[in-house]
Amino acid sequence: MQHARYCRVPLWAAIAFSGLLPATQVAIAAPVSVSATWSKVIGTSPTTPTLQVVVNPMLRPQSPISRRAFQALHRLKANFVRFVPWLPYPQLGVAELKPPAKGRTFWNFHLIDPMVRDFMRATAGHPVIMNFSTIPEWLYQTPKAVAWPANPNQVFWGYEQGTMLRKHSVKKVAQYYARLVSWYTRGGFRDEYGHWHASPYHYHFAWWEVLNEVDFEHHTNVQTYTRLYDAITSAIHKVSPHTRFVAMALGAPGNDLPWFKYFLNPRNHAPGTPLQMISYHFYATPSAADKPADWPKIFFSQAKGFLGTVRKIQAIRRKLSPQTQTDTDEIGSILPFDTAPKLARPIPNMYWNLSGAMYAYLFAHLARQGIQIAGESQLIGYPSQFPSVSMVNWTTGVPNARFRVLQLLHDNFGPGDKIIATRATAPGIFAQAFVTPAGLRKILLVNERNSPVVLNIPIAKASMLQWVDQHTAEHPPAHRLLEHNHLRLGGLAVAVITLGAKPQ
C-alpha cells in the first residue's frame, strides 16, 4: 500500500480538523480530496448489514454477559440475524444426541430452548436466519459411537466424525430437521414412534440455512450436499410452508467454484426444489509471523481478493440461477493465536477497529456487486471459541468497535440506497456516497491505515458527522456537526457524513 507524502500540520490546523482524534500535533498526510458526483448513480444497493450469533456457553442465561449481549442485539434492530447452534457444544446444538431404540427416543431441548427464546425475543419483529448446523453423529458411519462431555459448557471439537452417512440417513436427516423446526413453529412434533412432544413455541422462521461449511464439516461433496438440501427443504416445507432457504454456507468459496456451478444448476435438483439464496464466508487471517503493524495491509489485501471471488460467483449465479440471492453471512477476521484455550498473547486494541473498518469496506463493495446480506461474525467469541471474532467484550458483554461499526452502518444504510460515483485522491482512503430512499445524501469513509489523515470534502452547512475510531472504542458512534470542508479521520476509523441542504 502506497502512502502519501507526510508533512507536519500546525497545532491550530489540527484543532480545526479535529473531531475524530484528540487535538494533538502529529505528523499526518497532506489533505486527501473526496468527491461525489451526485448526479451519477451507478447502482442501487440491495444490501442489509447484519451479524451472526453463534451458540456457545456465553449465550446461556447463566452467563454473566448473556443479558447485556442480547440487549445490544435487541437495540440494534437488525434484519436477517443468523442464529447458529454449532458443533463444539453438542448439548447446546443437537436436539437428539442418541438414536431412537426399542420404542424410546431421546429428544431433549432443555439446554437449547433458553438461548432460542432469548434470541427470538432480541430479534422480535425482524426476519431471522436459523441454522442448526450440526447433524446428530449417530446418523454417520463411525468406528464406534461418539461420546461427548457431560459438562455442556466444555468445548469439544471431537463430536463431528465420519464422512459417510449411514444407509437411508438422508431421509432421516431431513426428518430430524423437520421435527426440530416443528418444535419451534408448530407447538411440537411426532417422534419416530409416533409419540407427540408438545412445545410452547409458534415462532416464524423466515429463513432456514441448510447446514454450515459443508466443504469442511464431514468433508461433504457437492452431490451429497445437494441430496441433503433437497430432502431437508422438502421436509421443512411440510411443517413450515412459509420458510425460505439459504444454501451451502461455504467456508472457502474461492476454492469451491465447482460447487456453485453444480448446485446452482436446477437440473441437479429434485423438481420444485427452491434455490432462493446461497451463502458463503470470508475471514481475513494474518500469519503468526506477521506483525500488528502489517495487519491493515494484509486484511485489506485479503478483502480485495475475496471481492474477486464474489465477482466470479456472481457470474456463475447470474448464468445458472439469476433469481437466487446471496448472503455473505460470516464476514470477519481471525488472529492466528486465538484458537487455544488461552490467548497466546493479548489482542491489541487497534485490531477491533481494523476488523470493523474492513467490514465497512466490504459492505460497500458487496452493495456494488448486488449482494443482499452482509453478515458480520459473530456476537460473542471468547478464549477457546475464537475470541478475535467477538463483537462484544467477553468479560463485560459491552459491544466493541466491531459491533459499533455495524451499528453505524445499520443506522445509515440499507436496501434501496442509490450508489453514487465517488472518488478519493489517495490510496488507503475508501469513500462511497449513497442517497437514501428518503433523499438523504451520505458518504461512507474508511481509513484503511493505522494513521490519521486529513480529508477535504465539499459539504453544505448543517452536515452531520458520525464516526467510530480507536478513541470511541466500545462507546456508541460519536457525532457532531461539520462546520467546514476539512476533517481529520483517525487511523482505522469509519465515518459517515450526512450532508445538509444542497449548496446553492
pLDDT score for 484: 85
pLDDT-derived band of residue 342, with 50, 70 and 90 as boundaries?
Answer: confident
d(CA 149, CA 260): 37
User: In this structure, which long-range contacts are made by residues 471-474, counting pairs with CB atoms below 8 Å and at least 24 apart in sequence?
Assistant: 471/20, 471/21, 471/22, 472/401, 472/404, 473/349, 473/352, 473/400, 473/401, 474/393, 474/398, 474/399, 474/400, 474/401, 474/404
pLDDT tens sequence across 51-69: 999 999 999 999 999 999 9
Mean pLDDT of 138-145: 96
Please report where in the chains the cell 443479558 appears, as a residue. Answer: 67
Question: Which pLDDT value is given to residue 291?
Answer: 97
Mean pLDDT of 128-150: 97
Rounded distance between C-alpha atoms, residue 313 and residue 52, angstroms: 22
Hey, what domains does the chain have and what are their CATH numbers? 6-44+419-498 (2.60.40.1180), 48-415 (3.20.20.80)
pLDDT in tens, 442-472: 999 999 999 999 999 988 778 999 999 999 9
Q: At 424, which helix (H) or strand (E)?
A: strand 418-424
Question: Residue 308 to residues 195, 256, 283, 366, 488: CA-CA distances in angstroms?
Answer: 51, 14, 14, 11, 31
Q: Does residue 29 have a pLDDT over 60?
A: no
State residue 28's pLDDT score.
56
Residue 75, C-beta contacts closer than 8 angstroms, at least 6 positions apart: none
Per-residue model confidence as pLDDT tens digits over 208-265: 999 999 999 999 999 999 999 999 999 999 999 999 999 999 999 999 999 999 999 9
Q: What is the DSSP string of 31-47?
A: EEEEEEEEEEEEEE--P
Evaluate if residue 308 carries a pLDDT over 80. yes
pLDDT digits (tens, 9 = 90+) for 268-281: 999 999 999 999 99
Please write the tens of the pLDDT for every residue from 168-183: 999 999 999 999 999 9
Average pLDDT of span 20-34: 60
Beta strands in 48-131 (DSSP E): 48-54, 81-84, 128-130
Spatial CA neighbour of 491 closest among 470, 475, 472, 467: 470
Average pLDDT over residues 80-109: 97
Q: Point out the least confidently predicted range of 199-213, 336-350, 430-444.
A: 336-350
Selected residue with higher pLDDT from 342 and 487: 487
